[in-house]
Amino acid sequence: MEEVFVAGAAMTRFGKHLERSPRELVEEAVAAALQDAGMEAREVGAVYVGNAVAGLMSGQESIRGQVVLRRTGLMGIPIVNVENACASSSTALHLGWQAIAAGMQDCVLVVGYEKLYDPDRQRSYRAFNASMDLEEMRTRFPEAGATRSVFMDLYASFAGPESEGPAADVEALGMVSVKNHHHGALNPLAQFREEVTLEQVLASRPIAGPLTLLMCSPLSDGAAALVLMAHPRNRSRVRIAASVLTSGRGDDRSRPNAAVRAVGAAYERAGIGPEDLDVVELHDATSIAELQLYEELGLCGKGEAARLILDRVTWLGGQLPVNPSGGLLARGHPIGATGAAQVVELAWQLQGRCGPRQVPEAKVALAQNGGGWVGTDAAACAVHVLIT
Amino acid sequence: MEEVFVAGAAMTRFGKHLERSPRELVEEAVAAALQDAGMEAREVGAVYVGNAVAGLMSGQESIRGQVVLRRTGLMGIPIVNVENACASSSTALHLGWQAIAAGMQDCVLVVGYEKLYDPDRQRSYRAFNASMDLEEMRTRFPEAGATRSVFMDLYASFAGPESEGPAADVEALGMVSVKNHHHGALNPLAQFREEVTLEQVLASRPIAGPLTLLMCSPLSDGAAALVLMAHPRNRSRVRIAASVLTSGRGDDRSRPNAAVRAVGAAYERAGIGPEDLDVVELHDATSIAELQLYEELGLCGKGEAARLILDRVTWLGGQLPVNPSGGLLARGHPIGATGAAQVVELAWQLQGRCGPRQVPEAKVALAQNGGGWVGTDAAACAVHVLIT
């Protein structure tokens, strides 16, 4: 199997780009990623494009990649359009990694993009909510959907009496948001660049259960792109040591969930454990998710997630910074772009390019990206381990 | 590189399944394909799911594969949702082939499905039409779209004075439909099982340019599934000798189109030429497409396509039967299922399981599946060569 390197990594600023088309966002990210890799479009062998909801947002249901890449000089090579809800571009990354690892391609491009803002906010929520089995959603959350993502109701349900997880500590939930906004304030590409206080987080508009507005990822637009190569021309030594994709357990609650299985396989394939990690980007769709994932990724033991955030272990300057980019909460969450953007951040961290949010001497990094919901679990989860 | 075999192949009948859900259609095809391979769900390592328009048809924009596979026992393994317009499930097949060929999986499932019928016919056309760059479509075909697929207008445009192709012969156009309906009449899984005469074809409702209703593929529902393995347990010796995916040339008319490039690469990788083929399934979205593809696939020289159909070379009983299943015109065209269904038919042909439509001693087969439109070319094209 060939080793796979991240030869180029780039993204647009995430945010509200009402005036920019998906094509413009993608062109910006792709051109910058190719430049970063020192490659030209004609040297790319295949493109894997992750997008989740362009069908419902713009009506461009099919050939989404070809439409946004039309002017990039990439037409003619295989273009694969991939969807896995919020894990769309990490799934695209997994396919790109597979093509290089298998020796079938020398250089591939991975693209994630989303336009989720719309003057009609209900359209955005409708698109977002289509990441759940719609039949199930209408039964479980009959009232929700028109004014917010039902995922917030879903996450809030983990905080109730049936909760298996660590979401009971409201201060910890709030501090996740404070941390990620603190990190986002240091990231020029983040959607939100202002610090928030615990008081502000707790006093912000209630969304669902204990979740307030500032504990929930926002609607965002943006694009991210990665150039993967077996033999990069530049000095990139950011190697993908593991790329694991799983689907959820569906209705079978007796099995470990998708994140636990994916991260277990990723540690094994990379030959590392959580104690080896220097920096993590994980899927903080809400503050609850970040706390749950601390335990599921093995960053702490059962019941210790609140301690990790309250003791500042996962803050920049702590022992294991999590979401130095600002995460979904502050960098933003343009669904189809998020998975690729996590890896952009980690590649930059391992290359020491992150300025005020740089994790010193980061050498081992992990990205976890979840997507959708079916029954008792995420519909998809992808975990990537990067090592330099 | 591992050899890749089609160990199991199955499909639902194509047609108007208003009363059946996508999940039911997929469950039927998947169960039958696994049974055909002598495999159980728990032995499958990954699933690649092709669907083009469920987002616009049902609102289930994301995690389409997980939703339809929820009850199959396949949850937990990687599920990749792929879209490439009408080439969605041949693109899924290409990814599945890649995973086995690379030695990364021992057994994968490829699924294609579509529900295109809707009591609101305009919804079906809107979904279908989203396989073109929407911006371009609104400019080129401002009037069309509400009452038919704009692809029919697109194909009709190839028959005009600017045509480079063989679409001028109305009798030949009509006879493609007569042939494919003749084949469909022999296929119990075809949507249309009645013979039609040339007079009926020419007298049917005008759609666009020279195209009448019977020269255009219908709206269809259906599902198809393939089990791919490196070491099949059953006696399948249907080997995938080439799997090639290309995207279109976009706006650069100077380059060969996607079909020409894909088939050229497929012949080279399989070590064969068109003269070696015993049976072909190709993308007859309209009669014009079938005639164009005769030339593009090298089945005849420039200007000889009409002869192939009028001399019955491509009929069952002729030298090189094309679309023995009935093709898109008569077997039907549930967009996301078509590419997989073509390969189901060819696997069955190579296994001698096709009864009255069997091509005697078929050993070398080719499937060509196109999808979408951008600028001057299809958005995607996949070609598979099967050899027994």
Each residue's pLDDT tens digit, A334-346: 999 999 999 999 9
A251·B127 Cβ contact <8 A:
no
Length of chain B: 388
Report the distance separating Cα B1 and Cα A132, nearest Å.
Answer: 38
Contact by Cβ (8 Å): A380, B79? yes
Q: Is the pLDDT at A162 greater than 60, yes or no?
A: no
Q: Is the pLDDT of residue A323 over 90?
A: yes
Q: Which residues of A touch B67 (CB under 8 A)?
A: 133-135, 374
CA A34, CA A40: separation in Å to the nearest integer?
Answer: 6
User: Across residues B333-356, what is the average pLDDT?
Assistant: 98
- The values of phi and psi at residue B261, to 5°, are -65, -40
Residue pair A42/A105 in contact (Cβ under 8 Å)? The answer is no
Q: Which amino acid is at A219?
A: L
Contacts of A92 (CB under 8 A, 6+ apart): A48, A49, A50, A80, A82, A110, A111, A112, A339, A340
Contact B92, B84 (CB under 8 A): no
Q: What is the DSSP letter of A39?
A: -
Question: Residue A167 pLDDT > 80, yes or no?
Answer: no
Q: What's A86's DSSP letter?
A: B
Minimal CA separation from B106 to chain A, in Å: 14
Instruction: Assign B160 a pLDDT band (cuts: 50, 70, 90).
Output: low
Largest Cα separation within chain A, whole Å, is: 56
How many alpha carbons fall within 13 Å on the CB side of residue B93?
Answer: 39
Please give the share of chain A, as a percent, with pLDDT higher than 90.
Answer: 88
Between residues 85 and 144 of chain A, which touch chain B (CB distance below 8 Å)? 85, 88, 91, 94-95, 98-99, 101-104, 126-127, 130-135
> Tokens 């598979």 sit at which residue?
B384
**Angstrom distance (rounded) from CA B254 to CA A241:** 41
Which residues on adjacent β-strands are paired with residue B115? B221
| A355: DSSP letter | G
Say yes or no: B270 contacts chain A, CB-CB below 8 A.
Answer: no
CA-based radius of gyration for chain A: 19
Residue with tokens 């072909």: B280
Instruction: Name the residue ranges covered by the structural domains of chain A.
Output: 5-118+222-237, 149-218+243-387
Query: Chain-wide mean pLDDT for chain B?
Result: 95
Instruction: Please report, rounded to a whole number, the percentage of residues in chain A having pLDDT higher than 70.
Output: 97
Which of these ranges, A324-333, B31-40, B164-173, B374-383, has the smallest mean pLDDT? Answer: B164-173
What pLDDT was estimated at residue B164? 62
- Residue A236, pLDDT score: 76
Query: Is residue B187 pLDDT above 90, yes or no?
Result: yes
- Under a CB-based contact definition with an 8 Å cutoff, are residues A287 and A320 in contact? no
Fold of the CATH domain B131-217+243-387: Peroxisomal Thiolase; Chain A, domain 1 (3.40.47)
> % helix / strand / coil in chain A, to the nearest 5?
40, 20, 40
- Looking at residue B305, what is its pLDDT? 95
pLDDT of residue A381: 98
Q: In this complex, how many residue pairs, one in chain A and one in chain B, have their CB atoms less than 8 Å apart?
A: 213
Whether the pLDDT of residue B116 is over 70: the answer is yes
Inspect the interface and report whether the beta carbons of B78 and A247 lie closer than 8 Å: yes
Q: Report domain A149-218+243-387's class.
A: alpha beta
Query: Which pLDDT does position A6 carry in this prediction?
Result: 98
CA A248 to CA A25: how far, in whole Å? 31
Rounded Cα distance between A297 and B324, Å, is: 52
For domain A5-118+222-237, the CATH class is alpha beta
Is the pLDDT at B113 greater than 60, yes or no?
yes
Give the integer Cα–Cα distance in Å for A144 and A151: 10
Higher pLDDT, A355 or A153: A355
Say whether residue A260 is in contact with chain B using an 8 A CB cutoff: no
pLDDT tens-place string over residues A261-270: 999 999 999 9
Same fold, B5-118+222-237 and B131-217+243-387: yes
Contacts of B64 in chain A (CB under 8 A): 83
Which chain B residues are Cβ-neighbours of A375 within 8 angstroms? 70
Is A77 in CB contact (< 8 Å) with chain B?
A: yes
CA-CA distance, A347 to A342, in Å (whole number)?
9
Reported confidence tier of residue B143, pLDDT bands at 50, 70, 90: confident
Give phi and psi for B3, each to the nearest 5: -75, 145
Mean pLDDT calculated for residue range B4-32: 97
Residue A218 to chain B, least CA–CA distance (Å) = 19
| pLDDT tens readout for residues B301-319 | 999 999 999 999 999 999 9
Contacts with B, A 2-61, CB within 8 Å: 52-53, 55-56, 58-61
Three-class DSSP category at B153: helix
A157 touches chain B (CB under 8 A): no
Overall average pLDDT of the B321-338 stretch? 98
Q: Please write the tens of the pLDDT for every residue from B350-373.
A: 999 999 999 999 999 999 999 999
Task: Report whether pLDDT(B323) > 90.
Answer: yes
Percent of chain B at pLDDT > 70 equals 97
State how far residue A177 is from chain B, nearest Cα, in angstroms: 27
Which of B181, B182, B283, B333 is the catalytic position?
B333
Q: Please report the pLDDT score of residue B165 as a whole number.
A: 66
| A379 close to B (CB below 8 A) | yes
Residue type, B30: V
DSSP strand E in B202-300: where?
Answer: 206-208, 211-212, 221-229, 239-247, 279-281
Active site residue B300: no
**Does A62 contact B at CB distance below 8 Å?**
yes
Enter the ipTM: 0.97
CA distances B347 to B41, B114, B315, B321, B341, Å, are 21, 21, 19, 15, 10
What is residue A234's predicted lDDT score, i.e. its pLDDT? 81
Contact yes or no for B53 and A67 at CB 8 A: no
| B134 has pLDDT over 60 | yes
* Tens-place pLDDT, residues A35-91: 999 999 999 999 999 999 999 999 999 999 999 999 999 999 999 999 999 999 999
Angle at B125 between CA B120 and CA B131, to 5 degrees: 145
Lowest mean pLDDT among A10-14, A257-261, B132-136, B264-268: B132-136
Q: Is the pLDDT of residue B219 over 90?
A: yes
pLDDT at A285: 97
Q: pLDDT band at residue B80, thresholds of 50, 70 and 90?
A: very high
Interface test with B, best of A62, A72, A245 (most B CBs within 10 A): A62
A146 contact B CB<8A: no
Q: Which of A60, A95, A132 sits opposite B134 (nearest CB)?
A: A60
Average pLDDT over residues B58-70: 97
**Does the structure show a pLDDT above 70 at B144?**
no
> Would you name the residues of A annotated as active-site residues?
86, 333
The verdict on a CB contact (< 8 Å) between A130 and B245 is: no
Q: Which pLDDT does position B167 carry in this prediction? A: 65
Quick one: tokens of A248? 């959820």
Q: pTM higher than 0.95 for the full model?
A: yes
Q: At what angle do helices B170-185 and B287-296 cross, to 10 degrees?
A: 100
Comparing alpha-carbon positions, the chain B residue that sits nearest to A55 is B55
